[in-house]
C-alpha cells in the first residue's frame, strides 16, 4: 500500500576469492531459491485444506493451524553484498535476532494469513462481481484467519482493488456499483496486522491474457527490488535496479506496443508498529536518495508499472482515511469543536488508532451521517484523506508488493508465497 502524501552454513572463509565466489553463487542462485521457496509454500502444504473446502478453511484461524509447530517462516535470503556476508554465521547477529522473536512471530502469522486469504480470494473472484463483493471477500477472509480482535489483530488498511488507469487507493464506498470485467486489470492490495505489526502485500489480477507480459514486467521489477534490498543499501540503488528491470520491457496490448514505465512518484516505504508509512521511502526509479536501509527495519517493496505517463495524480471519490499520527489523541480532541466530530474521532481512535480505514469500515461499526463530521476532521488536519491515485485515462497500471524484514542474519520476505 502506498499511503503517503504527494546459503552457506559452514565456517566463514577469510580468503577474498572465497568471499567473491560465495557472493557470485548466491546471486546466481537467487531465482532458484525463489522457486524452491514457492514449492515449499504451495497448496500441498499439510497445514492447508484442499481447494474444494476453502470456505471451511476460513473457520480455522492461522494461529490454531500452527499451534504446535510455530508460524511458517517467510523466504529467507542471505545478504549478497560483500560487506554483509559475515552476518550469516555471526553468533553476535544470532543473539541479537533472539530479541526479535515476538515481532517475527507476529509478522509471520500476519504473512501466513495474507497467503491463505489471497489463495482463497483467487478461487472466488471472477468477472461480474462487484468491487464491494471482491473487497468483502478479502476482508472477511482476513478477519476470520487472523482471528480479528480489536486493535490486537485484524485488517491493516482498506482493501485496494484499483482498476485500469487507477493505480492505488481505490476501495469501493457503500453503493458503488462498479463491476469487475474480463478486460479489466485490477490491483489487489491488502494488509494484515498482528499487534500492530503489518504485512503489506499486493498483486495484479487480470483474466484476459493480453495483460500477462505487462504483469510479468511489474512482478520482475518487484523481485529486483527485493533482491537489491539489504542492510546499508542506499535507496537510490534499489530504485535503479527496479527501474532497469521494469523499463527494459515492451508489451503489446490490444495491438499497440507500449514501453513499460515505472510510476515514478509512487514508491515503497518503511513500516512501523501501527504505521503503514514509518518515514523512509523506497523509490522505484534512480533518484539520488543516499538514505540507507538499517538492521531491524521492516519494508514494503512495491513497484507500479504503467502504459501511460508514469505519473499519478489524485482524482475520483475518496475512500481512504487515516488519523494524523504526528499529533496525540489529546491534542486532536482539543482542536475539535463540533460535538459530532469529537464523537466520530473518538470512534476512529478506538477502532482504528493510527491504522488506515475507509467509509465502509465506519458503516460496519454503526456510524451513519458522518460525512460532514469527517470533513471537519480533515479540515482540522486531525484526519488525512487519501483519494485514488490515477494515471492517464485509458492507460493500464500494474502493481506487485512484498513485505520484508532486515534481520541481523538475513532478510526475510514475509509475504512470499507460491503465487508471487
Q: Which residues are the active-site residues?
A: 189, 200, 269, 277, 302, 401
Three-state DSSP string of 88-143:
HHCHHHHHHHHCCHHHHHHHHHHHHHHHHHHHHHHHHCCCCCEHHHHHHHHHHHHH
Euclidean distance between CA atoms 326 and 332, whole angstroms: 10
| Residue 18 neighbours by CB under 8 Å, 6+ apart | none
**φ, ψ dihedrals at 55, nearest 5°:** -60, -40
H-helix segments, 125-234:
131-146, 212-228
Do 292 and 234 touch, CB atoms closer than 8 A?
yes
Kindly state the cell numbers that stand for 332. Answer: 486532536
- Residue 354: phi and psi, rounded to 5, are -100, 10
Residue 333: Cβ within 10 Å count: 15
Provide the 3-class DSSP secondary structure of residue 266: coil
Hey, is 265 helix, strand or coil? coil
Distance CA 86, CA 93 (A): 9
How far, in Å, CA of 306 to CA of 322, rounded? 27
Q: What sign for the dihedral angle of Cα 57, 60, 66, 68?
A: negative
Angle between helix 212-228 and 235-246 (nearest 10): 160
Determine contact, residues 275/289, Cβ cutoff 8 Å: no
C-alpha cell at 229: 534490498
Contact 244, 285 (CB under 8 A): no
- Strand locations in 290-415, DSSP E? 298-306, 313-314, 320-323, 357-358, 383-386, 389-390, 397-406, 411-413
User: Sign of dihedral through CA atoms 214, 220, 223, 225?
Assistant: negative
Q: Are 270 and 298 in contact (CB under 8 A)?
A: yes
Amino acid at each position: 500500500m502506498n499511503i503517503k502524501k504527494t546459503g552457506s552454513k559452514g565456517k566463514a572463509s577469510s580468503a577474498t576469492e572465497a568471499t567473491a565466489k560465495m557472493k557470485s553463487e548466491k546471486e546466481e542462485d537467487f531465482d532458484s531459491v525463489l522457486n524452491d521457496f514457492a514449492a515449499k509454500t504451495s497448496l500441498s502444504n499439510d497445514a492447508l485444506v484442499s481447494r474444494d473446502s476453502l470456505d471451511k478453511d476460513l473457520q480455522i484461524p492461522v494461529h490454531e493451524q500452527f499451534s504446535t509447530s510455530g508460524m511458517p517462516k517467510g523466504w529467507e535470503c542471505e545478504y549478497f553484498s560483500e560487506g554483509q556476508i559475515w552476518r550469516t554465521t555471526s553468533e553476535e547477529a544470532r543473539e541479537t535476532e533472539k530479541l526479535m522473536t515476538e515481532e517475527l512471530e507476529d509478522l509471520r502469522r500476519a504473512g501466513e494469513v495474507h497467503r491463505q486469504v489471497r489463495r482463497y480470494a483467487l478461487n472466488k473472484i471472477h468477472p461480474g462481481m462487484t468491487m464491494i463483493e471482491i473487497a468483502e471477500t478479502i476482508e472477511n477472509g482476513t478477519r476470520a484467519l487472523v482471528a480479528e480482535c480489536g486493535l490486537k489483530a485484524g485488517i491493516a488498511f482498506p482493501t485496494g482493488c484499483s482498476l485500469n488507469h487507477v493505480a492505488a487507493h481505490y476501495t469501493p464506498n457503500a453503493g458503488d456499483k462498479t463491476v469487475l470485467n474480463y478486460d479489466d486489470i485490477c490491483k489487489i492490495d491488502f494488509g494484515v496486522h498482528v499487534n500492530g505489526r503489518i504485512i503489506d502485500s499486493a498483486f495484479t489480477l487480470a483474466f484476459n491474457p493480453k495483460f500477462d507480459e505487462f504483469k510479468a514486467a511489474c512482478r520482475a521489477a518487484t523481485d529486483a527490488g527485493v533482491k537489491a534490498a539489504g542492510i546499508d543499501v542506499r535507496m537510490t540503488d534499489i530504485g535503479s535496479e527496479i527501474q532497469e528491470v521494469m523499463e527494459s520491457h515492451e508489451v503489446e496490448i490490444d495491438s499497440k506496443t507500449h514501453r513499460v514505465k515505472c510510476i515514478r512518484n509512487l514508491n515503497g516505504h518503511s513500516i512501523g508498529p501501527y504505521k503503514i508509512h514509518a518515514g523512509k521511502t523506497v523509490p522505484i526509479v534512480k533518484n539520488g536518495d543516499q538514505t540507507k536501509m538499517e538492521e531491524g527495519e521492516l519494508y514494503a517493496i512495491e513497484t507500479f508499472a504503467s502504459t501511460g505517463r508514469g505519473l499519478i495524480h489524485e482524482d475520483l471519490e475518496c475512500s481512504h482515511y487515516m488519523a494524523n499520527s504526528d499529533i496525540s489523541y489529546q491534542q486532536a480532541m482539543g482542536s475539535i469543536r463540533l460535538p459530532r466530530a469529537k464523537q466520530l474521532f473518538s470512534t476512529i481512535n478506538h477502532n482504528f488508532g493510527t491504522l488506515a480505514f475507509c467509509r465502509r469500515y465506519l458503516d460496519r461499526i454503526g456510524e451513519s451521517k458522518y460525512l460532514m463530521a469527517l470533513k471537519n476532521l480533515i479540515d482540522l488536519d486531525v484526519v488525512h484523506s487519501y483519494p485514488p491515485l490515477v494515471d492517464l485515462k485509458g492507460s493500464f497500471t500494474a502493481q506487485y508488493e512484498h513485505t520484508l524484514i532486515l534481520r541481523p542474519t538475513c532478510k526475510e520476505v514475509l509475504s512470499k508465497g507460491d503465487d508471487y
